[in-house]
Amino acid sequence: MAKELELKYGCNPNQKPSRIFMEEGELPVTVLNGRPGYINFLDALNSWQLVKELKEATGLPSAASFKHVSPAGAGVGLPLSETERKIYFTPDGELSALACAYARARGADRMSSYGDFAALSDICDADTANLIRREVSDGVIAPGYTEEALAILKSKRNGNYNVIQIDPEYVPDPIERKQVFGVTFEQGRNEIKIDDSLFTNIVTANKELPEEALRDLKIALITLKYTQSNSVAYAKNGQVIGVGAGQQSRVHCTRLAGSKADNWWLRQCPKVLDLPFRKDIRRADRDNTIDVYIGEEYDDVLRDGMWEKFFETKPEVFTAEEKKAWLKENKGVSLGSDAFFPFGDNIERAYKSGVSYIAQPGGSIRDDNVIETCDRYNMTMVFNGVRLFHH
């Protein structure tokens, strides 16, 4: 390992020189392939912290998909259902737990994950490397790679795919610093642990919190710990299904994350699963076409006669009534917020996306209104007393 690493440039090509370095000791990362850039390393180091904490909190192999220093998805290594296999485009046959975690992380919001940086909590195996190989991605960080997995990843992007290995035993200094406009900021690292102790203060009439919901709330909050604030995350089945990051208004976070969660659920509708795609359509085009089909733009595609570019036969319109009926089938979703909900409108929007369980700090002068709105929909809400802002 080296003490410093020169980078091609900073956030933009005009920002030179650029490097990462340690004031004391050696860098905890080794570049095994490619030439990661400034933003790549920001994504890699933030995403590694996320998956490391997910593994510690759940005991399961974990993965994350990052874009522009916020997660597009995160998940743990639970087996995939047949429907999940279809919407994540995984091959037939058994997959390792780590590969399942990666499929969940990458599949939550495939449009946002396009060109992502991936993080893995465990040594990357061939199953996981083969899934990564199929996707448009900038790089991956993991504590190690099997020989077969490394060979697969090195063949990606004409041999230029970024592969970073991190020392899993590395512990950063408890004080962190950064500069803005020549001024140095200093603070203690956010070392808060997301564990069972944060989920005891249930403030709603409904006190039920099943183990699966507790797991998903942990996943949501750990994800938010490394998401640019304000932020809200929806989670289900061991993975994040919608992230609303970097919004100035909390309700906009809730709406944005909710729309992504809705998209994730709509992709599972049989009418979408059975779309007659042309065999020569590329993976990215297929993803975009599904989003067009789910959205209102498909009416324009039919009207303009462009459907033949994507489909063997003309699919029927996915009507607003059909979408609404299918969305009502989504139940048991968990939602985490990195700060308190100031109004009940967030709960109203969350309910539309199947949310049953909520974890948030509490502390708003309108907590009573928020609790009352949850009680109206028989939701379970926890006040964890912990703000998770990340900038």
Every domain of the chain and the residues it spans: 4-171, 176-266+327-383, 270-317
Q: Can you read off the two tokens belonging to residue 196? A: 């069972």
Residue 310: what pLDDT? Answer: 85
The single residue of 33, 52, 55, 67 carrying the catalytic annotation is 67
The single residue of 68, 154, 271, 352 carrying the catalytic annotation is 68
Q: With beta carbons less than 8 A apart as the criterion, state whether 297 and 333 touch.
A: no
Q: What are phi and psi of 71, to 5 degrees?
A: -75, 135
Closest C-alpha among 27, 29, 79, 74 to residue 51: 74
The rounded distance, in Å, linking the Cα atoms of 54 and 121 is 8
Please tell me the class of the 4-171 domain: alpha beta
pLDDT along the chain (391 residues), means of 10: 88 94 94 96 97 97 96 97 94 94 96 95 98 96 98 96 97 94 95 96 98 98 96 97 95 96 96 92 87 80 74 88 95 97 94 97 94 97 96 92
Instruction: Specify the pTM.
Output: 0.95
Residue 208: what pLDDT? Answer: 97
The single residue of 33, 40, 230, 384 carrying the catalytic annotation is 230
Residue 307: what pLDDT? Answer: 79
Tell me, what amino acid is at 244? G
CB-side neighbour CA atoms (13 Å) of 8:
10
Could you tell me the fold of the domain covering 176-266+327-383?
Answer: Cytidine Deaminase; domain 2 (3.40.140)
Are the folds of 4-171 and 176-266+327-383 the same?
A: yes
pLDDT tens figures, 192-240 = 999 999 999 999 999 999 999 999 999 999 999 999 999 999 999 999 9
The rounded distance, in Å, linking the Cα atoms of 127 and 237 is 21
Residue indicated by tokens 């650029």: 18
Is 252 in the active site? no
Is 390 in the active site? no
> Is residue 335 packed enough to be buried (19+ CB in 10 Å), middle (13-18) or exposed (0-12)?
buried
Is 67 in the active site? yes
Tell me, what amino acid is at 68? H
Handedness of CA 352, 357, 360, 365 (dihedral sign): positive
Q: Where in 267-373 does DSSP place strands (E)?
A: 333-337, 355-360
